[in-house]
């Protein structure tokens, strides 16, 4: 993690619930979220991308 910007790491952790719900579904130990869950997941993913994309564009890459 020393090679990534702190902002990228902290915002990327917001995707953990999305990944966890998909992983649980594919391992047959959970259900996919309902409509509100998917809307929330899309908002989190969109927010994550909106923070990470300008950060990577201004520095040239994620790694330093």
Residues of the chain with confidence (pLDDT) below 70: 1, 55-64
> DSSP letters along 14-42, please?
GGHHHHHHHHHHHTTSS----HHHHHHHH
Write down the domain spans for the chain. Answer: 6-59
Please give the pLDDT value at position 52: 73
Please give the pLDDT value at position 1: 64
Distance of CA 64 to the CA centre of its chain: 21
Distance CA 47, CA 2 (A): 23
Q: Across all residues in the chain, what is the average pLDDT? A: 80
Q: Are 51 and 15 in contact (CB under 8 A)?
A: no
Looking up tokens 């990577």 gives 56
């Amino acid at each position: 993690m020393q090679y990534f910007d702190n902002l990228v790491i902290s915002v990327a952790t917001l995707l953990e619930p999305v990944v966890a719900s998909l992983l649980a579904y594919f391992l047959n130990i959970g259900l996919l979220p309902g409509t509100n869950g998917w809307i929330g997941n899309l908002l989190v993913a969109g927010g994550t991308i909106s923070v990470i994309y300008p950060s990577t564009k201004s520095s040239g890459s994620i790694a330093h």
